[in-house]
Amino acid sequence: DAGVTQSPTHLIKTRGQQVTLRCSPKSGHDTVSWYQQALGQGPQFIFQYYEEEERQRGNFPDRFSGHQFPNYSSELNVNALLLGDSALYLCASSPDRGRRNEKLFFGSGTQLSVL
Amino acid sequence: AQSVTQLDSHVSVSEGTPVLLRCNYSSSYSPSLFWYVQHPNKGLQLLLKYTSAATLVKGINGFEAEFKKSETSFHLTKPSAHMSDAAEYFCVVSDRQAGTALIFGKGTTLSVSS
């Protein structure tokens, strides 16, 4: 079992650009959540996708958007990048429509640097 | 709103000595509480969880935590530290108001010296 896989592992962008991060959930998982982890901070919840729809959203601006595909994989898109968007972006997947937090599995993340 | 305060940003111990990582939480509802560990270049791994069953929770790798409602605390302990325990540890809360979101503390860096 490959677990949760994220790509790319590292990414460098400049201010104002757009970026797309990708996530493949653990086999058997149907729900994907995204978190942002700034340097020296704990992860912050961005949003969660189930059945190809955004089910819950944290306190992030509309520049952050996502998508879930029929095979349960997901993308995180960030538009008009700011320096403050530099962070480790973590994807987490869970089974059972995401109802049980203890079943959450995290990927290793994508490190985004905005210059 | 829910919140988590990890009382120490950095804890240093010697190998073989006890570990104590402190966590206080705030929640208006019956919370679920977790401890996660993050090793460099690896994903977050669940150590243990409390979900309103026994207040003393045993996790992986010899870690345990005790839920104390009166003190709103959920401290993580281990009787004897191992070099491989060196990592970043996060205390996490979730409740009905948070929905499916996990609310993380800022983390505690555990260093273990030989």
C-beta of residue A54 within 8 angstroms of C-beta of residue A66: yes
Q: Which residue of B has its CA nearest to A49?
A: B100
> Which residues have a Cβ under 8 Å from the Cβ of A57 and sit 6 or more positions away?
A46, A47, A48
Using pLDDT thresholds of 50, 70 and 90, give the confidence band for residue A109: very high
Q: Which two tokens stand for residue A22?
A: 């990708």
Chain B residue numbers with beta carbons less than 8 Å from the beta carbon of A33 are 100-101
Kindly state the percentage of chain B with pLDDT values over 90.
Answer: 78
Say yes or no for a CB contact (<8 Å) between B106 and A42: yes
B44 in reach of chain A (CB within 8 A): yes
Q: What is the pLDDT of residue A98?
A: 66
CA dihedral B80, B85, B87, B90 (to 10 degrees): -60
- Among candidate residues A67, A33, A34, the one with its CA nearest the CA of residue A52: A67
Does the pLDDT value for residue A1 go beyond 80?
no
For B25-46, b/e burial (b = at least 16 CB within 10 A) is: bebeeebbbbbbbbeeeebbeb
pLDDT (tens digit, 9 = 90+) per residue, A12-57?
999 999 999 999 999 989 999 999 999 999 999 999 999 999 999 9
Q: Is A55 helix (H, G, I), strand (E, B) or coil?
A: strand
Q: Is A79 helix (H, G, I), strand (E, B) or coil?
A: coil
**The residue type at A106:** F
B106 in reach of chain A (CB within 8 A): yes
Write the residue in B94, B99, B106 that is nearest to A41 by C-beta. B106
Q: Which residue of A has its CA nearest to B51?
A: A102
Rounded distance, CA B14 to CA B12, Å?
A: 7
> What are the DSSP calls for chain B, one per residue?
--EEEES-SEEEEETTS-EEE-EEEE-SS--EEEEEEE-TTS-EEEEEEESSS-SEEE-GGG-EEEEETTTTEEEEEESS--GGG-EEEEEEEE-TTTTT--EE---EEEEEE-
Rounded distance, CA A74 to CA A21, Å?
A: 8
DSSP state of A26: P
Rounded distance, CA B97 to CA B106, Å?
A: 20
pLDDT (tens digit, 9 = 90+) per residue, B23-75?
999 987 888 999 999 998 788 999 999 987 788 999 999 999 999 999 999 99
Say yes or no for a CB contact (<8 Å) between A90 and B44: yes
Rounded distance, CA B45 to CA A107, Å?
A: 10
Q: Tell me the longest C-alpha to C-alpha distance in chain B.
A: 44
Mark out chain A residues that contact chain B at CB-CB < 8 A.
3-4, 31, 33, 35, 40-45, 48, 55-56, 58, 90, 92, 98-99, 101-102, 104-109
Stretch A4-14: mean pLDDT, rounded? Answer: 96
Rounded distance, CA B56 to CA B54, Å?
A: 6
The minimum CA-CA distance between A36 and chain B, rounded to whole Å, is 11
Say yes or no for a CB contact (<8 Å) between B106 and A40: yes
Q: What is the pLDDT of residue B96?
A: 78
